[in-house]
Amino acid sequence: MAIKDITTLVDLSGKQKTAQVALELGTRTGAHVTGLTVAFEPVVPGFIAAPMPPDYVEIARNQALKAAKESGEVFTEMARKAGASAEVRTAELITGGSTEPVLVHCRLTDLVVIGQENPDDPEPMREMLIESVLFEAGVPVLVVPYIGGGLPMKNVMVAWDGSPTASRAVHAALPMLQMAEKVTVMIVETGKAAAGQPGADIATYLARHGLNVTIDVVPRPQSGVADAILNYVSDNGIDMIAMGGYGHSRMREFLFGGATRDILAAMTVPVLMAH
């Protein structure tokens, strides 16, 4: 399916690297880009004994709306300079509360672009929003690293393990894979015996879509799959990864770790994920 509609979560900081990637992709594909700004309203703890000033919540809400409006204005100017079809919407969110006000804007789009959590310039609920969109919006998510910028799309990698989530990621990534000059399907060895050549089926599938594909099977390091992926990206000049997100439950990954959480924490290039 062609990408015709993109929604991006607009960063409240002035750097707007995520918006840059979304608008760049929008101009390449001819897609309409919606910049979604989020006004994070404060939560008033129920255990506070002293009465709150009556206008405290309203002042805080107005400040949040003002910050969202200003970030939206930056996005609008970036879209104008890029010549992209774009609009701005605003979602009001109670800090730490339900992400549904954001999700309603994400369910009828082809791709959600959102920035990685930045430990040096954190924004509220970023990790929760990434997970919520992956699990509950039903659309693929392109996560942009806070240290990066741009989307060259020359050398793209598919992290393939044959799972349903990896399959969904491949289907979602097809329009972007077709922009790339080189597509590599990277498979981490599991040690399990398998019939036929590893990756032969996905190579055939992608070749039928006109892609020139290289299969690369790499040994699994003792440190895990995420390290194998990140090392491969670094060693081979990869511009983007397509992979399944949260093949296990969020609870299992939270308790025992998992490739998705490790990649989201240490990614250096944009990662397209689907669940």
CB atoms within 10 A of CB 92: 14
pLDDT tens per residue across span 128-157: 999 999 999 999 999 999 987 788 999 999
pLDDT value for 65:
94
pLDDT value for 60:
85
User: What's the mean pLDDT in 168-182?
Assistant: 96
* Cα-based distances in Å from 82 to 27, 141, 270: 7, 22, 20
* Cα-based distances in Å from 274 to 14, 17, 68, 139, 217: 28, 21, 27, 7, 22
CB atoms within 10 A of CB 237: 11
User: What's the mean pLDDT in 185-213?
Assistant: 85
d(CA 233, CA 219): 14
Residue scoring higher pLDDT (106 or 47):
106
> Residue 11: is its pLDDT beyond 60?
yes
pLDDT tens per residue across span 14-30: 779 999 999 999 999 99
- Token representation of residue 158: 């598919």
Give DSSP secondary structure letters for 150-193.
Answer: ----SEEEEE--S-HHHHHHHHHHHHHHTT-SEEEEEEE--S--
pLDDT value for 248:
56
pLDDT value for 199:
86
d(CA 238, CA 155): 5
pLDDT value for 250:
53
CB atoms within 10 A of CB 268: 15
pLDDT value for 259:
85
The distance in angstroms from the start CA to the end CA of the chain is 17
**Domains of the chain, first to last:** 5-144 (3.40.50.620), 155-274 (3.40.50.620)
pLDDT tens per residue across span 30-55: 999 999 999 998 765 554 545 667 68
pLDDT value for 52:
63
Residue scoring higher pLDDT (39 or 256):
39
Helix (H) or strand (E) holding 141: strand 141-144
What percentage of residues in the chain have a pLDDT greater than 70?
89
d(CA 80, CA 176): 23
pLDDT value for 96:
84
Choice among 38-42, 116-120, 190-194 with the minimum mean pLDDT: 190-194
| Average pLDDT across the chain, whole number | 89
